[in-house]
Amino acid sequence: MKVLVTGGAGYIGSHTVVLLIEAGYDVVVFDNFCNASIESIRRVEKIVGEEITVIEGDIRNREDLHQVFNAHKIDAVIHFAGLKAVGESVEEPLKYYDNNVNGTAVLCEVMAEYNCKSIVFSSSATVYGDPHTTPITEDFPLSATNPYGRSKLFVEEILRDVYLANNEWKVVLLRYFNPVGAHKSGTIGEDPNGIPNNLMPFITQTAVGKRDVLSVFGDDYDTVDGTGVRDYIHVVDLADGHVKALDKIKNFTKVMTINLGTGKGYSVLEMVKAFEKASGKKVPYQIAPRRAGDIATCFADPSYAKKILDWEATKGIDEMCEDSWKWQRRNPDGF
């Protein structure tokens, strides 16, 4: 089975490519490298011990996609390609709607032209907005507080409509919680541009000496210690969820919406403590005002993923921190 992985050079994509190849899938990576380096694919090649087919192109460009589908008989698409910076999406909403929403629409059109109707899409827990309670199940009300989140909501709706119009489509909407960690080799991992927005890369960059101090955004939330609680999930567990989703869609046609999380929430200060234990490094921090748009608590009910995909997260917080640190320590400046 040949799988097109859009955004396959990125953080989650590169880890998923490793697992797909290890599971025996043929993989074609498609990426415009707007937020990734070809070096990530070179390192994936070292991990799996084989050459990977990479096509540089943009999902919004039909010609680029025709090139892929003409050269390869693609059976399914795992669609990671997208922009993901919440703050930037507020500043430049049209860039997000063009890349994430229009890009997905173009991709689906070209897929249909070539009779490829299986897609696994990277959605996000952000589509739950500010959930009224936790843990979060897939039937919770949906909302968005920024253009990035809305782009995910829109794409979910578009893919549901595509299925309604033609029941031959197989659509899996995977709602990720907070991916962290890296491949156990320490050779691939998350490599954010500039100052990291997300907690774990900020912690690892502080520990490696690239940042002076972590700002903890708010200590007055109604949580265990006042700091925000999230469901951190090891990126390799997350990648495995995609392999399981792909195995599953061989035998069904419909839309499936699935949370990929661990079901356990950790506060910012618990993460700092776990990281210090795993790395032996002190992470200096200061309490800062709440970050606009943040919610107090967000964690998954992952039981549907267990039931439908026989998938569950296997890696705990210590391994997440150890692997994040190994990647950062060995690659202080990223790829």
Active site (catalytic) residues: 148
Contact with ligand NAD (CB under 6 A): which of 21, 52, 76, 81? Answer: 81
Nearest to 329, CA basis, from 273, 285, 271, 275: 275
46 φ/ψ angles, rounded to the nearest 5 degrees: -65, -40
Of 122, 163, 120, which is closest to residue 253 (Cα–Cα)? 163
The per-residue DSSP string of 97-147 comes to IIIIIIHHHHHHHHHHHTT--EEEEEEEGGGB-S-SSSSBPTTS--B-SSH
Nearer to ligand UFG, 64 or 294 (CB): 294
d(CA 189, CA 187): 7
If the CB atoms of residues 227 and 331 are measured against ligand UFG, the closer one turns out to be 227
Binds 274, which of ligand NAD, ligand UFG, none (CB < 5 to 8 A, cut-off by type)?
none
Determine the interface stretch with ligand UFG among 64-72, 96-104, 131-139, 195-203 (rule: CB under 6 A): 195-203
User: What is the phi/psi pair of residue 218, to 5°?
Assistant: 95, 130
Report the nearest approach of ligand UFG to the CB of residue 156 (Å): 13
x/- letters, 251..290, toward ligand UFG (CB under 6 A): -----------------x----------------------
Residue 78's Cβ-side half-sphere holds a number of Cα atoms within 13 Å equal to 33
Q: Give the binding range for ligand UFG (CB under 6 A) out of 211-219, 243-251, 316-324, 327-335.
A: 211-219
DSSP assignment of 227-280 equals S-EE-EEEHHHHHHHHHHHHHHHTT--SEEEEEES-S--EEHHHHHHHHHHHH-
CB of 13 to ligand UFG, least distance (A): 15
Q: Is 9 in the site for ligand NAD (CB under 6 A)?
A: yes
Q: Which two tokens stand for residue 118?
A: 């299986």
77 binds ligand NAD (CB under 6 A): no
Given the complex with ligand UFG, which of 198 and 303 has the nearer CB atom?
198
Nearer to ligand NAD, 84 or 234 (CB): 84
* Subset of 131-190 contacting ligand NAD (CB under 6 A): 176, 179
150 near ligand UFG (CB under 6 A): no
Q: What is the Cα–Cα distance from 327 to 181, expressed in whole angstroms?
A: 8
**The one among 23, 34, 288, 292 contacting ligand NAD by CB under 6 A:** 34
Among candidates 126, 133, 125, 146, which has minimal Cα distance to 262? Answer: 125
The span of 55-63, 69-77, 109-117, 310-318 binding ligand NAD (CB under 6 A) equals 55-63
| Interaction pattern, residues 102-131, with ligand NAD; x per rule: CB under 6 A | -x------------------x-x-------
Residue of 3, 4, 5, 12 that binds ligand NAD (CB under 6 A): 12
C-beta neighbour count of 329 within 10 angstroms: 14
Q: How do strand 229-230 and strand 266-267 relate by DSSP bridges? A: antiparallel
Give yes or no for residue 215 binding ligand UFG (CB under 6 A).
yes
Q: Does 217 bind ligand UFG (CB under 6 A)?
A: yes
Tell me how many residues contact ligand UFG (CB under 6 A).
21
**Per CB under 6 A, does 177 bind ligand UFG?**
yes
Q: Please tell me the distance from the alpha carbon of residue 158 to that of residue 154, in angstroms, as a whole number.
A: 6
Sheet of 76-79, strands arranged across = 53-56, 26-31, 2-6, 76-79, 118-124, 170-176, 255-260
For binding to ligand UFG (CB under 6 A), which residues are involved? Answer: 84, 86, 124-126, 176-178, 197-199, 202, 214-217, 228, 230, 268, 291, 294
For binding to ligand NAD (CB under 6 A), which residues are involved? Answer: 6-7, 9-13, 31-36, 58-60, 80-84, 99, 103, 122, 124, 176, 179
